[in-house]
Amino acid sequence: MLRLITLAALLNLGLLAVAMPRHGGLGPDWLALEALVLAGLFALLPQRRWARLPAYLVGALLAGVALLALFDAIVHLAVNRPLNLALDWPHVVSLYHLIVGNLSLPIAILATLVLALVTIAIAWGLTRVFMRLSGEQPWAVRGLALALLAVGVAGLIAGAERTQPLGVAAPAQTLVADQIHSARQTHAELQAFEHFLAESEDAVAPLDDLAETDVILGLIESYGVSALFDERYAPEVVPVVEAMERAVADQDLHMVSGTLNAPMFGGQSWLAHATLLSGLRIESHRHYEKLLASDWNSLVREFNATGHHTTTLMAANVREWPEGAWYGYDSYYDADGLDYAGPPFHWVTMPDQYIWHFFEQEVRAPADEPIFAKIPLVSSHAPWTPILPVIEDWDRIGDGSLFHEWADKGKTPQEVWRSPQRIREHFARSVASAVEVAAGYAERYVDDDTLLILLGDHQPARIVIGTDASPAVPVHIISGDPDRLAPFRAHGFIEGAMPQDQATDNDMSDLRAWLHRAFGSGRPRDGQD
């Protein structure tokens, strides 16, 4: 009797924990119906050899549910949404590489082994408990087991008919059912997106009014509106943004700022890049794959048609990047191609200031044609350590060797990530530093023939910004020619470096259409309006 009651109670607690990611903590439910069903069922089974099979099967299934709940919690923390296996399974490898880059290969291997061993231990432990519970039992125990089984089954039936009492739930069933529903919905959405891409026309159209203008897209990693409007980060970041406004004005440059909604939180920056360049909202890697398999065009090809040399500097890329051919870049610089002679800083392959310096000296200055460049910056990527100083004399940067001075300086990622407060402090400081470096580039190298668009790629993870943050990122547009900024004012952008509000109806996918209306034929792109 004690064993039965204990098992039912422990199963109840464990299954209720499965729903914690959904509720963001302890939920309103107090009874998991599956706990009653399983405890009652195994107490009624005879102790026969064939009865081991259900114990092994249920033990393995519950271990799988526990693993599913863990990944659900990770996805909630990282990208502020529930797990969707149909979309997220390709990112298991990316998660492994992220751990390697931020921590180390041994820690990544150890974490993988620990996860596997814990999952096996859960399955084995539950199997042994279920097997020990089965067998000949006193009539009182059998009566209780039958009552638990009956109540659990009745509750599940009531849940299916939506007449379940408050506080009673089936967490494991709900988690699995949600994944099945998400998979079906995702399949339908992907089919619809694929059909749209196949049926829509997207001819290349030049942006003639930018034919003599260098257009530079600088994407600052993890720079979301929370950096400017959240009281935990604003005291660190806002003064740097205000200093950028003053520095730009001192050089007789003009600036407007606003916000755009990113298609995701916490990571997968390539989705933001694809959204900006395609004019379509790309919310998942599966949608990204469909886009790359299509004949849809991009801003890159349109700047090619305008007469620009198109390029991208991808400092985070340490492997092959065949996607560059789809975008249509004339040239492409990965981590090796940037000729950096300094040290990496955990995940960050090289500092933002070196990337800006290399772009100006080795790409833009020697070019015989106007430049269109997309430059993803990396210094403000997690783990946000170390925070490098800004080199005042940009001529000293050279091949980046001087950054060896800061190798192994500052706190380790393990030290930073032991404390949520420390994570937040380092996040704010690294974003402030990245903005300061970008402002330094603008102050030195933007002129009347430049349109510099600085923006964040996405908000950081939920552990930094909480659960109710806006998906928007700040956008700063700088030029020596005020006429270049007029079209953005029409979309709610205001003078200076501080956006008016952190909430917006404007999306990253709108930028391509805005540029066409302002500087091209004025024809809106298919699928954008």
Instruction: Give the distance from CA 11 to its chain's centroid.
Output: 33
Instruction: Give the distance from CA 491 to its chain's centroid.
Output: 26
- What pLDDT was estimated at residue 362? 93
b/e per residue 442-470 (b: at least 16 CB within 10 A): bbebbeeebbbbbbbbbbbbbbbbeeebb
- What pLDDT was estimated at residue 529? 39
- What pLDDT was estimated at residue 106? 73
Distance CA 522, CA 448 (A): 23
Instruction: Tell me the domains of the chain and their CATH numbers.
Output: 2-187 (no CATH), 205-519 (3.40.720.10)
Question: Tokens 């039992």 map to which residue?
Answer: 137
Judged by DSSP in three states, 524 sits in coil
Distance CA 67, CA 47 (A): 29
Question: By C-alpha distance, which of 443, 452, 391, 433 is closest to 250?
Answer: 443
- The set of residues, in sequence order, having a beta carbon less than 8 Å from that of 528 and lying 6+ positions away, is 279, 280, 509, 510, 512, 513
For the chain of 529 residues, list the mean pLDDT of each consecutive stretch of 10: 75 77 71 77 71 78 82 72 71 60 67 81 79 68 72 70 68 82 84 85 85 94 92 93 93 94 86 93 87 90 93 87 87 91 87 95 92 94 86 91 86 79 89 94 93 93 81 94 90 91 90 90 50
Residue 267: CB atoms within 10 Å: 21
Rounded to the nearest 10 degrees, the angle between the axes of helix 52-79 and helix 171-199 is 60
- Name the token pair of 499: 């956006």
- What pLDDT was estimated at residue 104? 62
Bridge-based pairing state of the strands 331-333 and 309-313: parallel
Cis check: omega of the bond before 386, within 30 degrees of 0: yes
* β-strand partners of 376: 219
- What pLDDT was estimated at residue 527? 47
- What pLDDT was estimated at residue 219? 95
Question: Tokens 């032991």 map to which residue?
Answer: 418
Residue 149: CB atoms within 10 Å: 19
CB 218 within 8 A of CB 457: no
Distance CA 69, CA 18 (A): 5
Question: By C-alpha distance, which of 260, 221, 228 is closest to 244?
Answer: 228
- Name the token pair of 39: 């405890």
Backbone dihedral region for residue 47 (phi beyond 0: left; psi -120 to 50: alpha; all else: beta): beta
Chain length of the chain: 529
